[in-house]
């Protein structure tokens, strides 16, 4: 059996046509993973997975994360949801820990930039939708890198970016209190290469709102370059906007795709269930050409 899929845009996103039984059976998992890496985001309609089925699909595709996230306020370990299924909701009654950080999801980001090995992929399925808005957008940082001129690629290949929680959250909540800012600042920062040479051979930009500054560069230049790259990478030609229906499943390759939630009404009961697949490779800078190194 071969996979049947339809491209949603030329550069990112495919809709996979597969029955629930075939998906849960796992025999197509290798091909689905390949499609995921090639297309950045894969959506499947009309599945209506329950939590156990969501876990089953996640385990077929990778190493399901069971949880080690730390709450910033007191360092307490957070469970990554019930057996690896996290409820994503702004309602503190549904998820008191994450509701305080999810407002940053409206900005383009990659998950886990504070980790040495960011998550490989995320599976996301709606249980309740907002009345208005709430689409999810995906941007291919593979495609964005591939379209840059070769001389600019070479220049970016050698740069490193420091990622911080306050860089990720402050733009989304400029009226925060000093206490909130202090909590964000208590998270460890992490330096990553700006360009990721994947084991697959493909390269991508490691961009996210968490990217605070480029090491060794003047602050103004660093700010301008990160902003310019973000504008470049989020052009329409590199993005796919998913309009959710109940029953959908979206899977994205977190290592080469940014995502963001579009705004929805305050007080919305919007609730998604999420599984995260652990990362499989550290972010590695491209190898310098021998001629350049000498």
Neighbours of 290 (CB within 10 A): 7
**Is 24 buried (19+), middle (13-18) or exposed (0-12) by CB count in 10 A?**
middle
Q: Closest distance between Fe ion and the C-beta of residue 261, in Å?
A: 8
Q: Closest distance between Fe ion and the C-beta of residue 4, in Å?
A: 29
Q: Which residue has the tokens 């796919």?
A: 240
Rg from Cα positions in the chain: 19
Q: Closest distance between Fe ion and the C-beta of residue 44, in Å?
A: 20
CA angle 184, 187, 189 (to 5 degrees): 115
Structure tokens at 165: 């929680």
Which one, 137 or 162, has the nearer CB to Fe ion? 137
Collapsing DSSP to helix, strand or coil, 82 comes out as strand
Which one, 111 or 115, has the nearer CB to Fe ion? 111
Q: Closest distance between Fe ion and the C-beta of residue 210, in Å?
A: 11
Q: Which residues bind Fe ion (CB under 5 A)?
A: 111
Q: Which residue has the tokens 């040479």?
A: 197
Which one, 104 or 193, has the nearer CB to Fe ion? 104
Q: Closest distance between Fe ion and the C-beta of residue 272, in Å?
A: 11
Residues 175 and 142: their CA atoms lie apart, in Å, by: 34
Q: Closest distance between Fe ion and the C-beta of residue 259, in Å?
A: 6
Which one, 29 or 137, has the nearer CB to Fe ion? 137
**Which stretches does DSSP call E strand in the chain?**
4-7, 14-17, 41-44, 69-70, 77-78, 86-89, 121-128, 136-140, 160-163, 190-193, 195-197, 203-205, 211-214, 239-242, 249-253, 257-261, 271-277
State the residue number with the nearest CB to Fe ion: 111
Which one, 9 or 113, has the nearer CB to Fe ion? 113
Which one, 55 or 109, has the nearer CB to Fe ion? 109
Q: Closest distance between Fe ion and the C-beta of residue 111, in Å?
A: 4
Which one, 80 or 111, has the nearer CB to Fe ion? 111
């Amino acid at each position: 059996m071969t996979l049947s899929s339809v491209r949603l845009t030329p550069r990112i996103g495919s809709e996979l046509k597969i029955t629930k039984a075939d998906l849960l059976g796992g025999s197509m998992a290798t091909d689905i993973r390949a499609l995921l890496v090639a297309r950045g985001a894969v959506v499947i309609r009309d599945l209506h997975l329950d939590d156990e089925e969501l876990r089953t699909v996640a385990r077929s595709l990778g190493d399901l994360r069971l949880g080690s996230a730390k709450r910033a306020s007191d360092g307490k370990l957070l469970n990554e949801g019930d057996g690896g299924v996290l409820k994503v909701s702004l309602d503190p009654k549904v998820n008191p820990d994450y509701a305080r950080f999810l407002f940053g999801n409206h900005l383009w980001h990659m998950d886990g930039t504070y980790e040495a090995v960011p998550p490989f992929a995320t599976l996301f399925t709606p249980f309740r939708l907002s009345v208005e808005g709430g689409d999810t957008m995906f941007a291919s940082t593979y495609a964005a890198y591939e379209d840059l001129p070769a001389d600019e690629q070479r220049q970016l290949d050698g740069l490193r970016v420091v990622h911080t929680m306050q860089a990720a959250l402050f733009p989304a909540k400029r009226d925060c209190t000093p206490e909130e800012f202090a909590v964000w600042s208590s998270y460890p920062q992490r330096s990553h290469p700006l360009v990721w040479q994947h084991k697959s051979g493909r390269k991508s930009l490691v961009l996210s709102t968490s990217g605070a500054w480029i090491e060794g560069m003047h602050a103004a230049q660093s700010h301008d370059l990160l902003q310019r790259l973000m504008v470049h990478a989020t052009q329409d030609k590199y993005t796919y906007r998913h309009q959710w229906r109940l029953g959908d499943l979206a899977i994205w390759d977190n290592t080469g795709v940014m995502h963001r939630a579009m705004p929805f009404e305050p007080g919305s009961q919007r609730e998604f269930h999420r599984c995260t697949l652990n990362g499989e490779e550290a972010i590695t800078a491209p190898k310098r050409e021998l001629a350049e190194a000498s």
